[in-house]
A and B are shown apart, each in its own frame.
Chain A
Amino acid sequence: MPPRVDREKCDGCNAQQEPLCEQVCPGDLMALGEDKKAYCRSRRDCWDCMSCTKICPVGAIETRMPYQLGYHVAKLIPMMGTDSITWTCIDINGNVERFRYKNRIEPE
């Protein structure tokens, strides 16, 4: 399921030429609309990698779980720490699971 952009929250990265989600998307699927809000221009090509969701500085992008993994309304939400990602997975029954991953340690 492609990313959904909360148009209230999205600030189009202050009308920069390329918002962060556009820069980071491996399939180059995100773009800025005429209203200066980001949108996914080819929804069927999205791989659900969640790069855009993770990078959005205002938390405006949400990725729904693909149906193969969880039925509609199941959600997977990342919260980015300085060197970790904390995932919250909510399935269709409302069960919540949380995991924390440490990111790769970068070489100094």
Chain B
Amino acid sequence: MINNDDKEKDSHNPMGEVIESSAFNLTIQSHKLYNSPAIGSLIKCGTETVVYSIISNIKTQSLDTTRTTIALAQNAFSVEDVYQEHPQLHNLLSTSLNTIVVGYKQNKSISHEIPSIPPKIHDLAYSCTSDETLLFSQTFGFLRILRSSNNTHIDDVIVSFLRSTSMNAPNPSQLLLTAGQELARLLKDNTQRLTQLLERISL
């Protein structure tokens, strides 16, 4: 995982590439092991049509799915020692991200809709800067797409996204209020889910 400063620095460098593509979900493999933005971060990929997606899951596993990893840290002092002693791990393991497509940019205008054509495999993926994220979050129409995702932990993704975005906003409480009102409209018939969500984003 990378911190905010690294994020700004890396914004012009691709963090990974698309290895599975559909209209609604993408899988992005990180170029470096464990080098992934946090859950709820905004990712962009594509050139002519920039597709925005939000990270809903981060997975690190063996590249060869037929070979499982085994425990190696029994005699090590720390996890770093294990990686130093076994440098091949960096080539045998990989970090991949599941993202939910939430919008696209075409001719400089951002739409909170599913793009008509999904990104290509091997399209480079970039983390969005906080400014880009704020620009994308000027309105919260994309929350509709997130809410209707069939991911069971989607509420956690929404909370992570809103918390991290609001931290960089010039007026965090206004941003949360607008987002909250959009959620309230989306979840007007599910008070319990709504109040839980609101309580979590207000923290």
Asked if chains A and B come from one complex, the reply is no
Which A residues contact B (CB, under 8 angstroms)? Answer: none
